[in-house]
Amino acid sequence: MLVIVAPGQGAQSPGFLRPWLEDPTFASRLEWLSVVAGVDLAHYGTEADAEAIRDTRVAQPLLVGTGLVAALELFPHPHDAFDQIGAVAGHSVGELAAAAGARVMTAEQAMVLVRERGLAMAEAAAATPTGMTAVLGGDREDVLATLERHGLTPANDNGPGQVVAAGTTAQLAALADDPPTKARLTSLSVAGAFHTHHMSPAVDRLAHLARSVSVHDPRTAVISNRDGQVVHDGTEVLRRIVGQIASPVRWDLCLETMSDLGVTGVLEMPPAGTLTGIVKRNLKGVETFALKTPDQLDDARAFCARHGEGSLIASTPTWRMVVSPSKGLFYRAAEADVDDLPAGTVIGRVASTRDSVDVPAAHGGQVVEWLVEDGDPVAPGQPLLRLHPTGSAS
C-alpha cells in the first residue's frame, strides 16, 4: 500500500526549487501556476531568502504549486498514479495539493484557493500578535494540560511527543516560563497561530469562495487532517479543507489510518523530509521516500511501483460507491433497507473502540449491491455499497 503525502508550511527552504527549474517542462508548468496564483513561484523558490518565503502569502502557493508540478514529473501519465496510489494526505495547506492530486478539484482551482487562503490567513494573523511553538517530548497528558492552562491550542498533533502549541505571543511566553515537565520547546518561524480560532476570519473568506468551486469525488482515498477519516465525497473534502484553517491538524490520527490501511510505503512530495521523518518515528517498518530533487525521480518511480497496488475506489466509478470512513465494525441502518436511497441517507455506522461514525450516501441512487454484511469488520476506504445514480452526480 502506497500513500503519497504533501507537506505543510514550514517545509520550504531558500533555493529548494533550483534543480527542479532546470527542467523546461517543470519551469513552464510552474510559470502557469504562478500566473494563476499571482505569485512568482520561480523567484521565491530560487532567489528569495528565508524571511521572504516565510510570508504566508508566499509560502502556501509555493508549496502547493511545487507539489502539483512535481506530481506530474513523478507520474507523467496521471492514470498510472491511480493504478499505484492507495491513499493521499496533506499536512495543513498540503491538503489542497493532495485534493487536487486525487482529482477533487483542478490544479487551477487549488491555486486560486491557496492564494486566497494565504492572503486571508496573513490578514487574520496581523490582527493579533500570535505564533506557534513546537513542544517535543514530555508526557502527553501533561503537555495537553499545560497548554490548556496557558490558554493555548494544540494546533498540530503530529504523534507521540510532537505537539505544536499556538496562541498569542503572551501565552507562548508564559509557556516558555512554565513548560511541561521533560519537554523541549522550539519557536516556529510562522506568521501566526494557524489552526486556531484566531484564523476564523480566514475560514469565512474561504467558505464564501468555496461555494463557486465545482468538485468531483476523489479518485483515490483522501485522509482528512480533521480526524484521520477517509473522505469520499468531493464536497465534504472541500468543506473540511476550509474548516481546517481554524481547527487543529490531527496528523496523529492520519498516521493511525495509514496503519489501518496497511501502508508499506510513504512518499513525500517536495520540499520533502518533514512528514517522512514523522512517519519513520511513528510507523515502524514502513518504508519512506523523501522526494527532494529531480535526480531522485527514477528511484521514486521504482519506490511507487514496489509499494503501489492502487485504490479500491479508483477501480470502480466513484459516484457508485459508498466507502467506510474509518476502521471498525459496520452496522447497517434500517433506513438503508430500501431500493432507492435519497441523497444524504445514512446507510449505517462504523463503530470502533474510539468512536462511532455515521456513513451517508452523499449522492443517493438505486441500490445495486451491498458489499458488506451487518457487523462486518471494515477498513478505511473500503467500499460498502454500490449505487446506480438516479440523478446528477458530482
Residues 6+ apart with CB under 8 A from 244: 92, 95, 195, 225, 226
Of the candidates 91, 150, 195, 232, the residue annotated as catalytic is 195
Locate 17 and state its grid cell: 526549487
Answer yes or no: 92 catalytic.
yes
Of the candidates 34, 92, 224, 247, the residue annotated as catalytic is 92
Residues 6+ apart with CB under 8 A from 334: none
Q: What are the DSSP calls for 95-118, one per residue? A: HHHHHHHTTSS-HHHHHHHHHHHH
Q: What crossing angle do the helices spanning 251-261 and 274-282 adopt, rounded to 10°?
A: 60
Q: Which helix (H) or strand (E) holds 61?
A: helix 56-74
Nearest to 343 by CA among 335, 332, 351: 335
**Per-residue CA distances from 99 to 90, 254, 256, 356 (Å):** 8, 15, 20, 25
Between CA 175 and CA 163 the distance in angstroms is 13
Contact between residue 233 and residue 362 where contact means Cβ atoms under 8 Å apart: yes
Residues 6+ apart with CB under 8 A from 5: 88, 89, 90, 91, 94, 98, 266, 267, 268, 269, 275, 276, 279
Q: What crossing angle do the helices spanning 107-127 and 56-74 adopt, rounded to 10°?
A: 160
Locate 298 and state its grid cell: 527514477
> Which residues are 165's β-sheet partners?
133, 154
Cβ-in-10-Å burial (0-12, 13-18, 19+) of 378 comes to: buried
Number of Cβ within 10 Å of residue 318's Cβ equals 22
**Per-residue CA distances from 7 to 61, 95, 149 (Å):** 12, 8, 30
Cβ-in-10-Å burial (0-12, 13-18, 19+) of 357 comes to: middle
Residues annotated as catalytic are 92, 195
